[in-house]
Amino acid sequence: MSCSIEVPGAPAIPGETKPRIAANKADGQLTANREGVSNMHDNFLRGMELAGKDAACLGHRPFDADGKPGPYSWMTFGELNQTASNVGSGLTKLGVAHKSCIGILSPNRIEWPIVEHASYIYDFITVPMYDTLGIDAIKYMAVETEMSLIAIAPEKLAILFELWPTLPLVKTVVVFGQIPVEYADSTNIPEGAKLMTLDDVATLGANDAPAPLPETPATANDACTICYTSGTTGTPKGVVLSHMCFLSTVNCVSERMALGFIPHFDNKDVHLSILPLAHCLE
């Protein structure tokens, strides 16, 4: 039995296969029919309601001075929500507009999902940036999406500083953790641009009144992230994924569990991140 079918009515495009959907969706429509859940932030709030704001939500293992991982450190749902809200407010105060793109150039670390959740709250579109595609691909992503801000891990700053003079729209670079001393007072920062830490952004967002939330929250059909593929030829291809794409995946998992197709899990279980967070499956 086939698990998927071609989307009914999908146009035939030369050189492309037709999109496919789960075989049990005869109407070919994605579903995300949780009441009150229209976007990924709504989905997070639903999870916090079910688990409780003091329940563990996001964990990581900090490394010591010798590079050895220590015990897990956890943020609660409430802490993540507040931190992400502060970051989103700070990014807005820095001039990032609702529905505009922000880049994330970093290996897996706890700041990655914090920026992601901030984007859900303030309706930014995240653009994960794979440096394995090469420096030209990084520039292409930044230019095509017209991003004004890039969030970055310290070890990726060398790539950014090589490109920054060619990216006039990138006015702010936000560093996860501390800014390495060799970049802190760099004369290579373009005129009118700034380099700051994520902690600085969160502090800015928390100071005085928070930045106003979008007048109209993101809908299920609004863009959530742009995932670039390597492409078989030419430049990387940006795939625009809506909030509906991710919400329907959550809904599908719930349906599959109810039908007994996959093992049951709930808020007492933990997802272990093993793929790069820039990967669509993660």
What domains can you pick out in the chain, each with its CATH number? 1-30 (no CATH), 37-54+74-258 (3.40.50.12780)
Does the structure show a pLDDT above 90 at 146? Answer: yes
Query: pTM higher than 0.85, yes or no?
Result: yes
Q: How far apart are CA 7 and CA 20, in angstroms?
A: 5
Confidence of residue 33 (pLDDT cuts 50, 70, 90): low
191 and 213 Cβ atoms separated by less than 8 Å: no
Q: What is the mean pLDDT of the chain?
A: 90
- 5-19, 179-193, 232-246, 251-265 — which is least confidently predicted? 251-265
List all residues 6 or more positions away from 19 whose beta carbon is below 8 Å from its beta carbon.
Answer: 6, 7, 10
Q: What is the pLDDT of residues 107-128, one digit of tens each?
A: 999 999 999 999 999 999 999 9
Say which range, 126-135, 185-194, 226-235, has the weakest mean pLDDT: 226-235
Q: Residue 154: its pLDDT value, please?
A: 97
Amino acid at 28: G
